[in-house]
């Protein structure tokens, strides 16, 4: 059973998508019981807002860990309004590239 409160951000990182670089944010928790469907190719990050949180996923395949690409949490092109300024990040997330580093050709057309 999910518990606690989290802020979640979803970004379209599919370069050919008409919604490329668009972001949606949501608060998930015990009060709203919101469920989200995330299509393949979108980036997803979250921030725990309560002291603890249990966050459940239903997935179509096993998590590939280090092979799963990341995007910098504070990417200026995504401009996600995170509710924290100094998050605790994994080493992988600390080294994550920006959208411009991942898709330089896509940004040269802007």
Query: Can you give the residue ranges of every domain in the chain?
Result: 5-108
Instruction: Give yes or no for residue 110 having a pLDDT over 70.
Output: no
The rounded mean pLDDT for the chain is 88
pLDDT tens-digit series, residues 23-56: 999 999 888 878 888 888 899 999 999 999 988 8
66-76 mean pLDDT: 86
Instruction: With beta carbons less than 8 A apart as the criterion, state whether 100 and 107 touch.
Output: yes
Torsion of CA 86, 74, 59, 103, to 10 degrees: -160
CA-to-CA distance for 6 and 9, rounded, in angstroms?
10
Instruction: Give yes or no for residue 59 having a pLDDT over 90.
Output: no
CA-to-CA distance for 82 and 9, rounded, in angstroms?
8
Q: Which residues contact 53 (CB under 8 A, 6 or more apart)?
A: 2, 3, 4, 5, 6, 29
pTM value is: 0.85
CA-to-CA distance for 8 and 36, rounded, in angstroms?
10
Q: In the chain, pLDDT over 70 holds for what percent of residues?
A: 94
Is 2.60.120.10 the CATH classification of the domain at 5-108?
Answer: yes
Residue 109: predicted pLDDT:
59
Residue 48: predicted pLDDT:
93
């Amino acid at each position: 059973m999910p518990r606690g409160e989290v802020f979640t951000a979803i970004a379209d990182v599919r370069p050919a998508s008409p919604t490329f670089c668009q972001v949606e944010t949501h608060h998930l928790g015990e009060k709203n019981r919101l469920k989200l469907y995330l299509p393949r190719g979108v980036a997803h990050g979250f921030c725990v807002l309560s002291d603890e949180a249990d966050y459940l996923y239903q997935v179509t395949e096993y998590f590939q860990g280090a092979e799963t690409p990341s995007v910098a949490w504070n990417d200026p092109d995504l401009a996600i309004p995170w509710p924290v300024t100094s998050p605790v990040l994994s080493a992988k997330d600390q080294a994550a590239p920006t959208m411009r580093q991942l898709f330089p050709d896509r940004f040269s057309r802007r």
